[in-house]
């Protein structure tokens, strides 16, 4: 089994990198990519754990990019995580998050919620502190009944406590991954909310920037959507990726390697991973 889209405590997952790799071994996953949001801080620990537990771990990252009115993420695989420009860019994004967090806490306080940044940092327990950790604190304190409610009412885009974060452009994200020796993929295209004609136009633009592939297999892709993305991959000569988007307790419905239970990523479709 393969899972090329997972998150650890280095961003907004709830498993440490070693815990995630250990879980991968338990789930009989042989190839695992760590793709934390705007961070590669968990990769070294995960690679070491992979050697310990017999799991091939691929260095990865998931970068949020500027895209309206929905959202776009770019996945990177196989980068040199010690590349100077790559490190500087991710450090800048992390520092921006650190400036954003207290502003969101201030807005939550103004809404009447008793929540502190210190509580959120403690909840995060890792390198990256962000909205999922605020949501968990709100849930624990009984202000919301679910993580989904925290986002839909307070923390999501356009909601009362939302503060925009700095994002790279799609060109910048693809470029920073490729300059570090990695491969760049369009993550979960379903979230772009584009019909086929619009998606083709967008893919042409991204391919001109150097995009290498598309995440055709994904937890929330329907069978029809997966077929479309596989067809587009063939048409634009793109590599194929796939993953569950596992976050542990922050997305409890998702099973590592299996998504909602039926996710299956054929090795022959992602054979490029054997070269990393």
What is the pTM for the complete model shown?
0.87
Q: For 164-222, what is each residue's pLDDT tens digit? A: 888 999 999 999 999 999 999 999 999 999 999 999 999 999 999 999 999 999 999 99
Q: For 91-101, what is each residue's pLDDT tens digit? A: 999 888 889 99
Q: Where are the beta strands (DSSP E) in the chain?
A: 2-6, 31-34, 56-65, 72-77, 183-186, 213-218, 239-243
- Interatomic CA distance for residues 48 and 34, integer angstroms: 13
Classify residue 27 as exposed, middle or buried by CB count within 10 Å of its CB (0-12, 13-18, 19+): middle
- Interatomic CA distance for residues 133 and 124, integer angstroms: 6
Please state the rounded mean pLDDT for residues 19-30. Answer: 97
- In the predicted model, is pLDDT for residue 126 greater than 70? no
Please state the rounded mean pLDDT for residues 91-116. Answer: 93
Q: Would you list the domain boundaries of the chain?
A: 2-89+174-275
Of 247, 250, 259, 267, the C-alpha closest to 218 is 259
Output the average pLDDT for the chain. Answer: 94
Please state the rounded mean pLDDT for residues 224-242. Answer: 97
- Please give the CATH topology (third level) of the domain spanning 2-89+174-275: TIM Barrel (3.20.20)
Please report, rounded to a whole number, the percentage of residues in the chain having pLDDT higher than 70: 99
Task: With residue 45 as reference, give the H or E element that holds it.
Answer: helix 43-53
Is the separation of the CB atoms in 8 and 126 below 8 Å?
yes
Of 180, 217, 165, the C-alpha closest to 79 is 180
Q: Which residue has the higher pLDDT, 130 or 141?
A: 141
């Amino acid at each position: 089994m393969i899972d090329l889209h997972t998150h650890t405590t280095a961003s907004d997952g709830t498993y440490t990198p070693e815990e995630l790799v250990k879980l991968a071994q338990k789930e009989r996953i042989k190839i695992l990519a760590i793709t934390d949001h705007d961070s590669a801080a968990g990769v070294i620990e995960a690679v070491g754990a992979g050697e310990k537990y017999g799991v091939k771990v691929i260095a990865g990252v998931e970068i949020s990019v500027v895209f309206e009115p929905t959202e776009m993420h770019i996945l990177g695989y196989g980068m040199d995580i010690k590349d100077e420009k790559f490190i500087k860019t991710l450090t800048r994004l992390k520092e921006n998050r650190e400036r954003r967090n207290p502003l969101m806490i201030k807005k939550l306080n103004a809404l009447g919620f008793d929540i502190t940044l210190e509580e959120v940092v403690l909840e995060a327990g890792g390198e990256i502190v962000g909205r999922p950790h605020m949501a968990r604190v709100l849930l624990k304190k009984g202000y919301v009944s679910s993580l989904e409610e925290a986002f839909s009412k307070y923390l999501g885009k356009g909601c009362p406590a939302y503060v925009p974060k700095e994002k790279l452009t799609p060109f910048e994200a693809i470029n920073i991954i490729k300059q570090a020796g990695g491969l760049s993929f369009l993550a979960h295209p379903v979230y772009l909310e584009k019909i086929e004609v619009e998606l083709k136009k967008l893919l042409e633009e991204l391919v001109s920037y150097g995009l290498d592939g598309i995440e055709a297999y994904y937890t929330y892709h329907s069978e029809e959507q997966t077929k479309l993305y596989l067809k587009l991959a063939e048409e634009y000569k793109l590599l194929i990726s796939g993953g569950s988007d596992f976050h542990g307790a922050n997305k409890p419905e998702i099973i590592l390697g299996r998504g909602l239970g039926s996710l299956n990523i054929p090795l022959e479709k992602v054979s490029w991973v054997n070269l990393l």
